[in-house]
Amino acid sequence: MKKIQSIRGMHDILPGESRLWQFVEETAKSVFDSFGYQQIRTPVMEQSDLFLRAIGEVTDIVEKEMYSFDDRNGDSLTLRPEGTAGVVRACIEHGLLHNQIQRLWYQGAMFRHERPQKGRYRQFHQMGVEAFGMQGPDVDLEILLMTARLWQQLGLDGAELQLNTLGTVQERTIYRQQLVKYLSQHRESLDEESKRRLSSNPLRVLDSKNPEVQQVVNDAPLLMEYLGDESRFHFEQICEGLQEAGVDYTVNPRLVRGLDYYVLTVFEWVSDRLGAQGTICAGGRYDGLVEQLGGKPTPAVGFGMGLERVISLLEEDPPVNMKKGADIYFVASGDTEIKAQLIANKLRRNMTDVQIVTNCGGGSFKSQFKKADRSGARFALILGEDELQRGVVGVKSLREDRAQKEVLINDLPNYLEGLVE
């Protein structure tokens, strides 16, 4: 029989990896929470039209990456390739944007039919943030500070913040004409993809990875020179805020982001330890999107981060404050197994944050202690028939050289509380 395997580019997250995933998710959740952001959950599938309208027809995602299919009613549906479109759709649908401010975050699987490679998968996972109804640079700064705080909490070093401004739609239109004029003069040095983009989405030529195209791009006119005072001021205030907060950044005038809907602020956090898939988090301001999807004009700013890339950085260098394994392993020998299970059950009620693993299924002392060691636990509790008769449990430190102690069963919660914090 042919073996059934997971779909190319879609991966299982195995027990040995899930602790790090949980650490990242829980840390992010608590950072978002500390900034007053609330979670929103939207379906993994949407009508295909949503993404066509939100992301734009001449983007990598819509042109070649979407998982779209007709369902049994003949409706065209798409597995979400990103989170923003669904969040905006939900906010409009439920009237969350009428003269209101919303600070939201989401998390979940995203789907893109790309060529799988390290850091690039067909099912991947993002956590992201969207803030609606705030126009000023203060909220742009807020989400940038939030990302910086998150790296700090995760113990993730070495990511660089790249920042740019795309100006307003009007400013960009004027700039685009100048850019097209310049690039057309150097048409012979452009590759096929850039020539195609020249007519469909010329700003994307700026982020071409082709060295020859980059040469041309180096002398291209800069969008920064076409900004009006307001756009310039918006950008400067963010830069000053970052400086004052001690968050390093680089202005990258070639950073344009793939999506049409960005205005003013765009940014990426990039690591040089992930090869070509170096962007771990990307975002910016998208004031036009809500209206584009049928809502009232609403300023908006947000980001999405790729969890696989963040996790692959942390794997090299596991965070010190991450829980490594069990706290306590309960060794039970002889006819004490059920009793041990019941004592452990009582302890869990008293010590809700402590992880207690009981040794089920018997085995010699020696083999139970081996399992205790592998569990990562700091302490073993030992209940033999002799201990049971005297109403005590042995407490042994597995990581430090400390004498084993006997503690009355009733005193265990108090005693352990002091040991395991």
Question: Which residues of the shown chain bind ligand ATP in the complex (CB under 6 A)?
Answer: 82, 112, 114, 119-121, 124, 126, 258, 277, 279-282, 304-306, 308-309
Name which of 25 and 114 has its Cβ closer to ligand ATP. Answer: 114
Compute the CA torsion angle 212, 277, 130, 39 (nearest 10 deg). 170
Q: For residue 160, what is the enclosing H or E element?
A: strand 160-165
- Whose tokens are 């734009």? That residue is 56
**C-alpha of 13 from chain center:** 15
| Distance in Å, CB of 282 to ligand ATP, minimum | 4
* Residue 140: φ, ψ to 5°: -60, -45
User: Residue 215 corresponds to which tokens in the numbers above?
Assistant: 């040469």
Task: Please identify, using beta-carbon distances, which residue of 112 and 285 lies nearer to ligand ATP.
Answer: 112
The pair phi, psi for residue 266, each rounded to 5°, is -130, 150
Residue the block writes with tokens 């995602």:
61
**By C-beta, is 48 or 147 nearer to ligand ATP?**
147
Least separation in angstroms between residue 295's CB and ligand ATP is 22
Give start and end residues of each alpha helix (H) in 35-168. 48-55, 60, 84-93, 137-154
Q: CB count, 10 Å around CB of 415? A: 14
The CB-of-125 to ligand ATP minimum distance in angstroms stands at 8
Smallest gap from Cβ 316 to ligand ATP, in A, equals 16
Distance between CA atoms of residues 115 and 105, nearest Å: 28
Q: Of 168 and 312, which CB lies nearer to ligand ATP in the complex structure?
A: 312
Angle of helix 15-34 relative to helix 137-154, nearest 10 degrees, comes to 140
65 versus 337: smaller Cβ distance to ligand ATP: 65
Residue (86 or 306) nearer to ligand ATP, CB: 306
> What is the DSSP-derived secondary structure letter of residue 59?
S
* Count of CA atoms in the C-beta half-sphere (13 A) of 6: 9
User: Of 64 and 374, which CB lies nearer to ligand ATP in the complex structure?
Assistant: 64
Q: Give the whole-angstrom CA distance, residue 196 versus residue 205.
A: 9
Task: Tell me if 179 sits within 8 A of 201, measured CB to CB.
Answer: no
Quick one: how far is CA 398 from the chain centroid? 35
The DSSP string of 276-292 is T--EEEEEEE-TTHHHH
Rounded least distance, CB 281 to ligand ATP, Å: 6
User: Min. distance of Cβ 368 from ligand ATP in angstroms?
Assistant: 42
Q: How far is the CB of 128 from ligand ATP (least distance, A)?
A: 8
- Of the pair 305, 395, the CB lying nearest ligand ATP is at 305
Indicate the SS3 state at residue 364. Answer: coil
Closer Cβ to ligand ATP, 153 or 277, answer by number: 277
- Which string of b and e fits 237-275 if b means at least 16 CB within 10 Å? ebeebbeeeebebeebebbbbebbbbbbbbbbbbbeebe
Longest Cα–Cα distance in the chain: 93
Of 46 and 82, which CB lies nearer to ligand ATP in the complex structure? 82
CB of 299 to ligand ATP, least distance (A): 20
Query: In this chain, which residue has its C-beta nearest to ligand ATP?
Result: 306
Give least dist CB 105 to ligand ATP, A.
Answer: 14
Minimum Å gap between C-beta 270 and ligand ATP is 9
